[in-house]
Chain A
């Protein structure tokens, strides 16, 4: 298994501000994934983050809105920029190990 620590677990933010979510993994992984789960919905992939290269974003997600850092093989951050109430969601990071996906507990973001 993989142990993934996400911080913060939840936050309430003012519109127009930015929040950076951290994801720490207990061992080195090449790829990390960031997902969004809007209220009552399933998970949607935002981007894939490789160490040493720019993240690859899915359709509908852009780097200016969701910049991602991947400074080493155990850590990544996702920033939600210039937030609006529509960004209120759970954000989850995930890693692959032995072809299974392991997920953090998520960051529950409320934008007011």
Chain B
């Protein structure tokens, strides 16, 4: 079973920041928080991952609370092409471990 809970769906206005929350209250000390997204009819795409420090890349920022029981993925300027299902996954950062996908959050970016 997935170890994360996310809202089923969210809306965001185009050009605004999209903040997607994720709860992972049972996360273990050696588990990372990963974010993937799946645009309709495509395979999941890696966005970002982190252990305890906040992370930023060209796609998004990941904010992890100090107790690591929750996190937020931030898309700073959402576009229509960011409409997708976003999956928050916790996983040990070892090669060969599969990802356990929950239902994710369906983000709709509105014009």
Contact = CB atoms under 8 A, between A and B. Distances in A.
Contacts of A87: none
B42 A101 contact: no
Interface string A18-36: 0000000000001101010
What DSSP secondary structure best describes chain B's contact surface? loop
Contacts of B94: 99
Nearest to A10: B41
Contacts of A42: 2, 87, 101-104
Kindly state the interface size class of chain B when it binds its partner. 20 to 34
B111 interface: no
B55 interface: no
A112 interface: no
Interface in B32-76: 32, 36, 41-46, 49
Contact of A96 (B32, B42, B96, B102): B96
A43 to B, nearest CB: 4
A70 interface: no
Given A103-B44, A106-B42, A108-B41, A30 B96 contact: yes
Contacts of B103: 41-42
Contacts of B96: 30-31, 48, 96
A81 B36 CA distance: 30
A31 B95 CA distance: 9
A42 to B, nearest CB: 4
30 contacts: A30-B95, A30-B96, A31-B95, A33-B98, A35-B101, A41-B103, A42-B87, A42-B102, A42-B103, A43-B101, A45-B100, A48-B96, A48-B98, A92-B43, A94-B43, A94-B99, A96-B96, A96-B97, A99-B49, A100-B49, A101-B44, A101-B46, A101-B98, A101-B99, A102-B46, A103-B43, A105-B43, A106-B41, A106-B42, A106-B43
10 residue pairs, one from A and one from B, having the closest CB atoms: A103-B43, A43-B101, A42-B101, A31-B96, A100-B46, A103-B44, A99-B93, A105-B43, A42-B103, A45-B98
